[in-house]
Amino acid sequence: MTNHHEEGSRQTIEHAKGLVIDSIAETMDLYGVTRSAGTLYGTMYFEEDMTLDEMREKLGMSKPSMSTGVKKLQNYNIVKQTFRKGTRRQTFVAEKDFFKFFSNFFTKMWIREAKINLDTVKQAQKELNKLIEDSEVDEKIKHEAQQVYQQLEASIPYYHWLQKLVDSIESGEIFEFLPVDQEK
């Protein structure tokens, strides 16, 4: 085996990884994560823990970009800080189990959706109730307010269901209903 061949083989491996990294980044882009954060995650997916400088080297970008990128990924709960002995630099590691990725990423969004929207619906209903219970208010308006109130009321079970979905993912119960097929 010559060095010439070895060089080409390394390139083949890097090419294969590159395909997957781009694909992951495209998917994350679909989910509203910026392309560069997605590429960073994809890169970390194939590495052990990395320092900011190692990321910068791999991606050819500036250190502040890596710093903010990693922070973003930490916010999505798909990258964690780790402790590598022998260096005083911070190191970070990507969540490599896609089931955990799914869980961390979507439950975070859904919890927030359920909370924010439910709070808002309650607040809007409170305001509508003022009209509905006010004897001074015109019947036509009252009826309109009631209709909107009802539409909002009908949305509430959805947010409760979303919370149940989150719970079943976090507890792992969902995998009893939808088992992971291990065979290829």
Partner DNA sequence: AATTTTGTTAATAAAAAATTTAACTTTTTG
Partner DNA sequence: CAAAAAGTTAAATTTTTTATTAACAAAATT
Which of DNA, a copy of itself, none does 17 bind, CB closer than 5 to 8 A by kind? a copy of itself
Q: Which letter does DSSP use for residue 181 in this model? A: P
User: Is 4 a binder of DNA (CB under 7 A)?
Assistant: no
**Stretch of residues binding a copy of itself (CB under 8 A), selected from 47-55, 56-64, 75-83, 161-169:** 161-169
Q: What is the CA radius of gyration of the chain?
A: 24
Which of DNA, a copy of itself, none does 131 bind, CB closer than 5 to 8 A by kind? a copy of itself
Opening angle at CA 111, ends 37 and 151, nearest 5: 120
Considering the complex, what minimum distance in angstroms separates the CB of residue 35 from a copy of itself? 12
User: Is 130 a binder of a copy of itself (CB under 8 A)?
Assistant: yes
Q: Which letter does DSSP use for residue 133 in this model? A: T
Question: In this chain, which of 11, 23, 27, 34 binds DNA, going by CB under 7 A?
Answer: 34
User: Is the CB of 53 or the CB of 167 nearer to DNA?
Assistant: 53
One-letter amino acid for residue 107 of the chain: T
Look up tokens 């990128």; give the residue.
Answer: 69
- DSSP for 13-45, written as a single string: HHHHHHHHHHHHHHHHHHTT--HHHHHHHHHHH
Burial of 156 (0-12, 13-18, 19+ CB in 10 A): middle
Considering the complex, what minimum distance in angstroms separates the CB of residue 176 from a copy of itself? 9
Considering the complex, what minimum distance in angstroms separates the CB of residue 53 from a copy of itself? 23
User: Is 31 a binder of a copy of itself (CB under 8 A)?
Assistant: yes
Question: In this chain, which of 62, 89, 161, 172 binds a copy of itself, going by CB under 8 A?
Answer: 161
Tell me the C-alpha distance between 90 and 54, whole Å: 11
Q: Summarize as ranges the residues that interact with DNA (CB under 7 A).
A: 34-36, 51-53, 60-65, 67-71, 87-90
